[in-house]
Amino acid sequence: MSFEGDRHHALRVLSVSKHRFGAAGEVGLFSMTASGLEPVLDPSALLLADRRAGTAGSIVVPVLEGQRPFLAEIQALVVKSVLPTPRRAAQGVASGRLALVLAVLEQRVGFALGPLDVFASVVGGIRVTEPAADLALGLALASASAGVALGEDLVALGEIGLGGELRQVVHTERRLVEATRRGFRRAIVPASAPEPPEGMTVVRVTTLAEAVAACELGLARLKSAS
């Protein structure tokens, strides 16, 4: 039995590592209460509380922990470095995927992030390592670089290849249902993604560059709905 996220965080993602093909329901989010570990009925609500509108560098991604989707907020901060080797600091994001997404942002989209300190973080002490969060991470970094906030009702979903292309991720529908349930209305997804649930509009893109362009150009439109 091990806990994901910071080990002492009261909100815990519990993975029973020794079960043998058991029910996937054994994997879920738990909170430590006065009566012990109790399942969190609405982890997305807890994780999104106190989110600030209009802050550049923030976006939400529907992640999977076991079969249960929940919404995680990814944040980025990009600042001029005073060090000979600029910092790459990831908290809750796999540093390998951060390096990959930064390389694509630089080479395929045209951002010049090399001489900058880059920070990326997931709110709530949660650790998100799915490639499915690549697009959200890329957009958070682009938003922080541009100093332009993304729409509050926007989620993003997709793996990024080194060619800059977006790749399908599993269980897109189930993830978008959870985002819709929580009030999100727009999603940036790979072109091949399935139809979204009712109440959710998807923006289909084939590359990270297209996704960045869609957010910058269509920002007023996306924001007007929020």
Mask for 153-182, x = binds a copy of itself (CB under 8 A): ------x-xxx-xxxxxxx--x--------
Quote the CA–CA distance of 211 and 189 in Å, as a whole number: 9
The conformational region for residue 110 under phi > 0 = left, psi -120 to 50 = alpha, else beta, is left
Q: 195: which 2 tokens?
A: 């139809």
Near a copy of itself by CB under 8 A: residue from 11, 61, 116, 177 = 11
Near a copy of itself by CB under 8 A: residue from 20, 147, 220, 224 = 20
Query: Which CB atom, from 78 or from 215, has the smaller least distance to a copy of itself?
Result: 78
151 binds a copy of itself (CB under 8 A): no
Mask for 128-147, x = binds a copy of itself (CB under 8 A): xxxxx---------------
- Using alpha carbons, select from 146, 132, 118, 122 the residue that is nearest to residue 212: 146
Query: What dihedral do alpha carbons 175, 176, 179, 184 form, nearest 10°?
Result: 160
Q: How many of the chain's residues bind a copy of itself (CB under 8 A)? A: 88
Mask for 54-83, x = binds a copy of itself (CB under 8 A): -xxxx----xxxxx-----x-xxx-x--xx
